[in-house]
A and B are shown apart, each in its own frame.
Chain A
Amino acid sequence: MTMLREQLLRRKPTAAGGEDYGLKRSIGLFALTMIGVGATIGTGIFYVLSSAVPTAGPAVIWSFVIGGAVAGVTALCYAELAGAVPVSGSTYSYAYATLGEAPAMGVAACLLLEYGVSTAGVAVGWSQYVNELLDNLFGWRIPPELSNAPEQGGILNLPAVIVIVLCALLLLRGTGESAVVNAVMVVVKLGVLVFFVAVALTGWNADHFADFAPAGFQGIVAGAGIIFFSFVGLDAVSTAGGEAKNPKRNLPIAIVLALVIVVTAYVVVAITAVGAQAPEQFDGQTAGLSVILESIIGASWPGTIVAAGAVISIFSVTLVVLYGQTRILFAMSRDGMVPPVFSKLNPRTLAPGRNTMIVAAVVSVLAAVVPINFLLEMTSIGTLVAFLVVSVAVIILRRREPDIERGFTLPLHPLIPILSILGCIWIITQLRPITIVVFAIWTVAFLVFYWFYGRTHSALARPAGSGPDVPFTSTIRNAPEGKR
């Protein structure tokens, strides 16, 4: 029994350092903030209103504030964890180094939702705007049979599949997203939203706010569950923390700044959208932001601009999330948690080719046949549970290893992790029961897979040692470089 416990809770030793190839990036406060804004905006605001407004009414504004607050405290917890554990990678890597193998696999199950399923959701959102753009520019739409999931009366969502395939091809060529590209995308995204607000204000009608919270507080919180998807990505700031200048100061400031910018943008967009369109018209709308502008102006050009901006920015988001998924699976494959096919590289381009193709194929199927609401909710629950684990890890780490060097220490401990845990649980309970059930089934299935595969194939099982009590300390940071 003890052995099994040791096996399930074995932690990956942290040996940072390694070798650097190329220039070491040194990221300042502004660039960090841009990473937070760029990673967050563009994932949800372009299409969450059509499901959130029917639930919360105009009070969806408060849903954004609540969602943002929860995302903010969890991102701060993540920042402490990332600064304390000398590993680089996703939440999976942090969980593996702090909580152990089995919890890390639980997190991995969540991350497959936060990344893989989210890629599908984002791609479906892209298909809405690409259809709007085609219609406005050429007067032609992809027929509904080929742009809707079966549940919505279609056969499959072809544009969503196409965008995933395009992104996969770019990744196979080794394309990435530099800080400069990100900055450009931030400008595009914010520019489109500012344009939307400016035009939507001309159609302002205060009467739309008459029934501000039709479903009361309950509706607002349920809305927060729906829109939480649009805050996924705020945690990217923390994972960049290892290369940040003066992380103690800049990391929390960047997270808070990014959060303020993002929440402000969302709230302003939500207010003007509701001001421009009666709340009952939101239900089931596709390419919502474009349609709203078109009905105010009575011409298609403002909708075209928004649709074009959305098509560009959602494309970049799809690329990034798909990339993230391939790299998480790559790391897991190297750890022996998933089969080695996920870490095979193409020697010419250095892209993990089969990994990328498998992920793209699976995600394409999801995007083709699953409706967007469900994809977004699965993404939300995966992200929330991963965040929850991060917050728990912060508390555990404070108790177990109070003296390690932390890049950034949360004030008022343990208030913020506890707030984060409660906030995540609160929003999770607002999601549809079907989402929670599917999530539970998925996580259990993934852990069963771990039981039969990862537990025995683990890279930690190969060499001796590395029991659960191997401490890591900040001195490991200066470990000698690995062999070349």
Chain B
Amino acid sequence: MKILVAVNPVQRSVAVLDLAAMLARSADAELIVAAVLPVGWQPLARRTDGEWLGHLGESADVVLDHAASVLAGLKASFVQRSAKSAHRGIVDLIEEHSPDIVVVGSSSSGAIGRIAIGSVNGALLHASPVPVAIAPRGFRAGASVRIRRLTAAYGGSDAARDLVISAARVAADIGSRLRLASFAVGPEGSVTAGVGLEAERDIAEEWIRMMDESVDEVLSEVSEMVGAPQLDDAVVGVGDSWAHAMDDVTWTPEDVLVIGSSSLGPVARVFVGSNATKVLRSSPVPAIVVPRGGLR
């Protein structure tokens, strides 16, 4: 198994490396750590941007050296790549090395402890042919931490069912447990309608009952699989915001969330739907976004 790790060439970040290491330890995989640099601007015949490119190259060296020290003990190779844009460089590397998963960090402008989508990981979320793992800002995993539990975000659709099945296979492969989690933000309700301010609580209860039924079906399907992973109780999170809904369930440092692509997106590419994006942005644990067709 191969894991491509895309690091920011001008900023040392431990979060993405810790996540990559955690995945590599869990799946016994080999790491390819890549720093994607911009290409020079061809029309500038006199190479007036040479110094800048040289500086970036040196910076990338520093970042990759740092990565090597963090990933010491794991099988890893390090590459620099020039491309017109960071995400295009990453997609090129995916095509070249055909990794099983690509690991990226959060945008640097987000809340600590949550996943932040920026331009690079955002573009990958709409173009990657392989699953994308994203570390929350400031994510840390100890030197021996493995994935103990995969939490599959389950929304009740057929695509979500397929995701659960493929997450179950992966969980079985890496020896982790599997948990199903459904999240919802209750509708706002209305203060002046005269039907009580708790009308939406009834809606939430009905939704939970509905999810329970559908989760039971999926879980029985999973447990009939050959070599089914150990299953945890399915959970639901309801809140007045996605962050509250996510915090409504318990998370451990050994959890990883698995989210499926929208059924509206192009086939076999990662494409995150609107609710999935909100779940992703509010995730307190690393998340793996899987294209339709599933994890390999």
Contact = CB atoms under 8 A, between A and B. Distances in A.
B187 A347 contact: no
Contact of B199 (A22, A35, A327): A327
Given A21-B204, A175-B188, A90 B197 contact: no
A22 B186 contact: yes
Interface residues of A, number: 49
Contacts of B197: 25, 88, 239-240, 242-243
Contact of A347 (B156, B189, B192, B238): B156
Interface string A157-172: 0000000000000000
A347 B207 contact: yes
Contacts of B241: 22
Interface in A198-219: none
A323 B190 CA distance: 8
A43 to B, nearest CB: 10
Which of A242, A320, A351 has the most C-beta atoms of chain B within 10 angstroms of its own C-beta?
A320
Sort chain B's interface into a size bin: 35 or more
Interface in B174-213: 184-208, 210-211
Given A21-B239, A324-B190, A343 B208 contact: no
A89 B201 contact: no
B10 to A, nearest CB: 39
B240 interface: yes
B192 A177 contact: yes
Given A174-B187, A177-B188, A331-B202, A21 B248 contact: yes
B108 interface: no
Given A176-B188, A177-B188, A348-B155, A330 B203 contact: yes
Interface string A290-334: 000000000000000000000000000001110110011011001
A22 B239 contact: yes
B164 interface: no
Interface string A11-51: 00000001111110100000000010011000000000000
Nearest to A87: B196
Contacts, number: 139
A220 to B, nearest CB: 28
Contacts of A18: 198, 201, 205
A1 B197 CA distance: 39
Nearest to B245: A21
Interface string A172-206: 00111111001000000000000000000000000
B236 interface: yes
Contacts of B248: 21
B203 A236 contact: no
A482 interface: yes
B191 A178 contact: yes
B275 interface: yes
A350 B192 contact: no
B42 interface: no
A73 B214 CA distance: 48
Contact of B196 (A19, A239, A351, A482): A239
Nearest to A36: B192
A339 B193 CA distance: 23
B194 A239 contact: yes
B210 A347 contact: yes
A350 B184 contact: yes
A89 B196 contact: yes
Interface of B: 155-157, 184-208, 210-211, 214, 236, 238-241, 244-245, 248, 275
24 contacts: A19-B205, A21-B239, A22-B238, A22-B244, A25-B197, A38-B191, A88-B197, A89-B198, A90-B196, A175-B187, A176-B187, A177-B190, A233-B194, A236-B192, A243-B197, A324-B194, A343-B206, A345-B203, A345-B207, A347-B157, A350-B186, A350-B203, A351-B187, A482-B205
